[in-house]
Amino acid sequence: MSNRLIRIRKLNEDSMAENETLKAVGAKPASSNAAAPNPTPAGVARAPMTELETLVRARYPLIYVVSWEEQRVAEEVAKVAERLGKRVFEWSATNGLVPYGTSAQSQKHKDTATTDPLIAMDTISSYVEPALYIFKDLHPFLKDSNIAIVRRMREMASTLKNTYKTIILVSPTFSIPCDLEKDVTVLDFELPAEKEFTALLGRIVEEVKANPKLDVSQVPKVREQIVHSLMGLTLSEGENVLAKALVRHHGLSEKSVAVILSEKEQIIRKNGLLEYYAANEDMSSVGGLDELKNWLQKRTVAFTDQARQFGLPAPKGVLLLGVQGCGKSLMAKAVSNIWKLPLLRFDVGKVFGSLVGSSEENVRRAIRVAESVSPVVFWVDEIDKAFRGSQGSSASTDGGTSARVFGTFLTWLNEKKRPVFVVATANDVTLLPPELLRKGRFDEIFFVDLPAAEERKEIFRVHLTKRKFNLEKFDLAKAAEVSDGFSGAEIEEAIVSAMFDAFYEKQNLTTERIITAVTQTVPLSKTMSEKMIELRKWATGRARSASREKYVSAHDQQNSQKENV
């Protein structure tokens, strides 16, 4: 199945290669198919469902379209059918097999006999005319336990190959019994493009412009903004959101954009894997990590049109690897803020759904949503934890789903064309597959170590300032000195703990109190020193240091001084 997916994606890129590929699998190339209209010349922009057309012309018998948008898929199928001179039928569990466009209310067109999927298949077999059959409700039947249906589908796959008939399954998630994997070709249905939302907006404006209670006179001025904010939604979601925006402000104007964006947040949240993250942090919230800061700062203008005209490629992403609590996640939030791009957090922990296949679809949908709202910062926090499933024993227990999910993800990292900047963070390199670390996935791998003395001083400064303390009253150098081996998170905790003590005793916060809190804490670097040394060793030569000043523990410093003496 995954091989096919990869091939289909390639089909989209080059129609010359496409014909070669089709020949290789024993199918007829587009131009030699009797039912085919003029083939699309290479390099010409293609309609969104041209892949479907290609597959239909090449007589792929069973096509599985993954989409929530039944109606839009049906419309696209109808367009393809029209071009190829074929009829279209729709099958649903309530209406049976009926000609496309039969309204749900139209009882006389209902074909109750064919509501049974097996009978529907028999009916299709008996028809001779070229046709496309859209199956809306077949996916719930496609289970290993439904032996008769699985068998019938396999038979259909082999008989339809020699006909001009194609079955198209539409389902929001991809899930099929493994018996069918080789017979079914999966196709992702793209979310609506800008053009489609422009048309939708145009239609809505036409419908409401005569209504004196609704003002749409501002639309020409804000059309682009509104359309852009709708990207990433399905067409029906877009329609609902626009209706809500219309009602909220008695028309459409600049204010509608905020309504659309907040609705979009809700919808994206429903996906479960993506979350809009409102980040307040900027670079002044991060102490130290100056090399990484510089690198990011230099790329602030990278997503502008001028940068593209200059010939600069959009940055792909960074992997921040390092010690716990040293600001990796903080940096991901800060970068979205300084680049003024939205931050989408991708929850890798939730990737694995209970159904094999549905997790793959979830990842694909998350990727598509991210691309549709690009330019965007795509934050994959703790990627190592997710990769744990793609290796070793668990890979064999879940039927290879995790490996496939990450295959999809890795391919996307390499090939993505849209300006989606990936910030991935990880603690444990041993869990990361070597493929992830290979050149080309990320622009750079940064190693984030424990903060050196000067950096600790800065982190104290950041957190005391954030809590509105007067810095002049503190000896930051002293605090930095005693907190050797502390992470940024531990420094913050020490400050908070000292504040609690001071508040309880109705006293002011002082350096001494902070030092007391520090000495009462055993930092992670003490309990996990072995692991950190390993990580540091690994990073040397393989990753770029995020800080100019290298962290050397006071203990190591003393040792090296002794050796020198």
Ligand X SMILES: Nc1ncnc2c1ncn2[C@@H]1O[C@H](COP(=O)(O)OP(=O)(O)OP(=O)(O)O)[C@@H](O)[C@H]1O
Cα separation, 206 vs 198, in Å, equals 12
**Given the complex with Mg ion, which of 33 and 329 has the nearer CB atom?**
329
Strands of 343-346's sheet, edge to edge? 274-277, 343-346, 376-380, 420-426, 317-322, 444-448, 544-545
Asked if residues 422 and 442 have their Cβ atoms less than 8 Å apart, the reply is: yes
15, amino acid identity: S
Does residue 185 bind Mg ion (CB under 5 A)? no
Residues from 359 through 378 that contact Mg ion (CB under 5 A) = none
288's contact among Mg ion, ligand X, none, with CB below 5 to 8 A by partner kind, is ligand X
**403: part of which helix (H) or strand (E)?**
helix 401-415
459's contact among ligand X, Mg ion, none, with CB below 5 to 8 A by partner kind, is ligand X
**Given the complex with Mg ion, which of 19 and 329 has the nearer CB atom?**
329
287's contact among ligand X, Mg ion, none, with CB below 5 to 8 A by partner kind, is ligand X
Does residue 427 bind Mg ion (CB under 5 A)? no
423, amino acid identity: V
5's contact among Mg ion, ligand X, none, with CB below 5 to 8 A by partner kind, is none
Helix (H, G, I), strand (E, B) or coil at 431: helix
Q: Which stretches within 339-372 are classed as H helix?
A: 358-372
**Residue of 52, 66, 45 lying closest to 234 (CA atoms):** 66
Smallest separation (angstroms) from ligand X to the CB of 374: 24
Q: Which stretches within 416-487 are classed as H helix?
A: 434-437, 453-466, 476-482
**Given the complex with Mg ion, which of 192 and 287 has the nearer CB atom?**
287
245's contact among ligand X, Mg ion, none, with CB below 5 to 8 A by partner kind, is none
**Given the complex with Mg ion, which of 432 and 509 has the nearer CB atom?**
432
330's contact among Mg ion, ligand X, none, with CB below 5 to 8 A by partner kind, is ligand X
Q: Which residue is nearest to ligand X (CB)?
A: 488
Residue with tokens 């009829």: 87
**Given the complex with ligand X, which of 204 and 320 has the nearer CB atom?**
320
Residues from 323 through 352 that contact Mg ion (CB under 5 A) = 329
**Given the complex with ligand X, which of 96 and 488 has the nearer CB atom?**
488
286's contact among ligand X, Mg ion, none, with CB below 5 to 8 A by partner kind, is ligand X
Smallest separation (angstroms) from ligand X to the CB of 186: 35
Q: Which regions of 271-414 does DSSP assign to beta strands (E)?
A: 274-277, 317-322, 343-346, 376-380
Number of residues that bind Mg ion (CB under 5 A): 1
Question: Residue 459 contacts by C-beta under 8 Å, 6 or more apart in sequence?
Answer: 287, 288, 451, 488, 491, 492
Smallest separation (angstroms) from ligand X to the CB of 328: 3
**Residue of 4, 168, 147 lying closest to 79 (CA atoms):** 168
DSSP state letter for 495: H
Cα separation, 381 vs 544, in Å, equals 19
Smallest separation (angstroms) from Mg ion to the CB of 480: 23
**Given the complex with ligand X, which of 231 and 286 has the nearer CB atom?**
286
Residues near ligand X (CB under 6 A): 286-289, 324-330, 425, 427, 459, 462, 488-489, 492
517, amino acid identity: A
Task: Give the interface with Mg ion as residue ranges (CB under 5 A).
Answer: 329
